[in-house]
Chains A and B, each alone.
Chain A
């Protein structure tokens, strides 16, 4: 008996009906042809298998989240194979080096041709900020037993960012090591237009390094620079993000640089 796993694989290794299937799925067949296709499907196992493969592919590729997750898992495997050693958990040195390099470049740009470079962009910083900033997209909050945190989360979810910020500040007064609170406080500051305070919050997270919010903090820090019209700092921030292909925001950073004419 052949195991059921064969069902998802067409019997031959050649595709014979791709164009026909393409027209069928796109709804481009006329009535006569459609009738013939339906009949053919019942008797032609190869056509039927090819159509099934096509439809299954469409279904499976709908789930971009899982694809992106798999991309990262594969990348971890490949990295470890290439290095032939157990992967490091967090590599601090490159990030420190990148930050230092970014800072040097930022200073050079500010001193040199900031005006020249900003002339190339066709989007205003404010417009770009509005295009890319979306507080609804930030990471889901993890509830905790702390009453203040619960209150803060509720306020945040109700979009009462000022109220949330008060609770977040109170929590941080007692325990400044709560990175999640720093992050959400940063978002609340953006929402209440306290951009300089938001910058401080995101910098704190980035400097802490050993936490799950670094990549997001880097992204929002870049957006804060945009909002503050500190274009050169924003550009360096987004360049650093875009250079790291594993960074969650690298594609968006790339796009923003393109729109700024600074890719």
Chain B
């Protein structure tokens, strides 16, 4: 297995490089999965936490605010650990005995404050469903949100009229909203109580 330096990993993430994401998945996911599953979590929880942790790191890299005081792997593990602790607290399943499975760094308070699991969960839910829309729908919605004119959207997508572009945008958004509100994750907190 090729090992990449922290610098290469960060640059790879900035580039959204497939093989760096695969490398991180291969090198870090087993440990994060083990952490979550040893502490009342499921496979799905582990995937969510891993995905959310990578998003946290990616956003930091893009904002030039990632300051590593440890190895990248320890940092990613520490972010995951924090996210999972918050999730357990939300679920009221936090027990004093939390099984530690790896060395971690204590994240600065301001960083922990940014790791708000509800926001992460919302971001994940919305974006995951967005990514299940067909490619045309994704494109129309993204163009619309970039304030590209309906005329340009119609031209780009090969629609005959602006009105049709507007209708397509409406229908795509409707489909997305329906997917979200019908996702059990959206409502699971109701049934948890």
**Which chain A residues have a beta carbon within 8 Å of chain B's beta carbons?**
1-10, 12-15, 18, 22, 50, 53-54, 56-58, 60-62, 64-77, 80, 86-90, 139-140, 142, 210, 212, 215-216, 246, 248
Q: How far in angstroms is the closest Cβ of chain B from A62?
A: 6
Contact partner of B21 (CB less than 8 A), chosen from A12, A61, A73, is A73
Contacts of B124 in A (CB 8 A): 70
Contact partner of B18 (CB less than 8 A), chosen from A5, A56, A67, A72, is A72
User: How many residues does chain B have at the interface if contact means C-beta atoms less than 8 Å apart?
Assistant: 55
Does B106 sit within 8 A of A, measured CB to CB? no
Q: CA–CA, A89 to B118, complex, Å?
A: 32
Contacts of A215 in B (CB 8 A): 15, 17
Chain A to chain B contacts (Cβ below 8 Å), 18 pairs = A5-B121, A8-B186, A18-B174, A22-B170, A57-B126, A60-B123, A61-B126, A65-B62, A67-B130, A67-B131, A68-B16, A69-B58, A70-B55, A72-B21, A74-B128, A87-B25, A89-B1, A215-B17
Q: CA–CA, A142 to B17, complex, Å?
A: 16
Contacts of A15 in B (CB 8 A): 174, 177-178, 181
B12-39: CB near A (< 8 Å → 1, else 0) gives 1111111111110110000000000000
Task: Using A18-B177, A53-B181, A248-B15 as known contacts, list a sample of 7 further A-B pairs with CB atoms less than 8 Å apart, ordered by residue number in A.
Answer: A5-B189, A53-B180, A58-B145, A68-B16, A72-B21, A74-B128, A210-B2
Contacts of A71 in B (CB 8 A): 131
Q: How far in angstroms is the closest Cβ of chain A from B143?
A: 10
Q: CA–CA, A210 to B1, complex, Å?
A: 12
Does B193 sit within 8 A of A, measured CB to CB? yes
User: Are A73 and B51 in contact (CB-based, < 8 A)?
Assistant: yes
- Interface positions, chain B 43-84, Cβ under 8 Å from A, are 47, 51, 54-55, 58-59, 62
| B contacts with A: majority SS | helix
Q: CA–CA, A139 to B13, complex, Å?
A: 12
- Interface positions, chain B 106-152, Cβ under 8 Å from A, are 118, 121-124, 126-128, 130-131, 141-142, 145
User: Are B16 and A212 in contact (CB-based, < 8 A)?
Assistant: no
Does B190 sit within 8 A of A, measured CB to CB? yes
User: Are A66 and B127 in contact (CB-based, < 8 A)?
Assistant: yes
Across the interface, name the chain A residue whose C-beta is closest to B193: A2
Nearest first, the 10 closest Cβ-Cβ pairs linking A and B are A9-B186, A87-B22, A6-B189, A60-B126, A8-B122, A5-B189, A5-B118, A69-B58, A246-B18, A90-B19
**Which chain B residues have a beta carbon within 8 Å of chain A's beta carbons?**
1-2, 7-8, 11-23, 25-26, 47, 51, 54-55, 58-59, 62, 90, 118, 121-124, 126-128, 130-131, 141-142, 145, 170, 173-174, 176-178, 180-182, 186-187, 189-190, 192-193
Q: CA–CA, A15 to B177, complex, Å?
A: 8
User: Are A86 and B145 in contact (CB-based, < 8 A)?
Assistant: no
Across the interface, name the chain A residue whose C-beta is closest to B169: A22
User: Are B15 and A5 in contact (CB-based, < 8 A)?
Assistant: no
Contacts of B15 in A (CB 8 A): 139, 212, 215-216, 248
Q: CA–CA, A139 to B43, complex, Å?
A: 35
Q: How far in angstroms is the closest Cβ of chain B from A91?
A: 8
Across the interface, name the chain A residue whose C-beta is closest to B125: A8
Q: CA–CA, A14 to B182, complex, Å?
A: 8
Q: CA–CA, A73 to B48, complex, Å?
A: 11
For B19, B177, B190, the residue with the greatest tally of chain A CB atoms inside 10 Å of its CB is: B19
Across the interface, name the chain B residue whose C-beta is closest to A81: B47
User: Are A66 and B177 in contact (CB-based, < 8 A)?
Assistant: no
Contacts of A4 in B (CB 8 A): 118
User: Are B190 and A2 in contact (CB-based, < 8 A)?
Assistant: yes
Contacts of A58 in B (CB 8 A): 145
For B8, B11, B13, B16, the residue with the greatest tally of chain A CB atoms inside 10 Å of its CB is: B16
Q: How far in angstroms is the closest Cβ of chain A from B148?
A: 12
User: Are B22 and A89 in contact (CB-based, < 8 A)?
Assistant: yes
Known: A73-B21, A89-B1, A248-B16. A8 touches B118 (CB 8 A): yes
User: Are B7 and A142 in contact (CB-based, < 8 A)?
Assistant: yes
User: Are A69 and B7 in contact (CB-based, < 8 A)?
Assistant: no
Q: CA–CA, A123 to B13, complex, Å?
A: 35
Q: How far in angstroms is the closest Cβ of chain A from B147?
A: 10
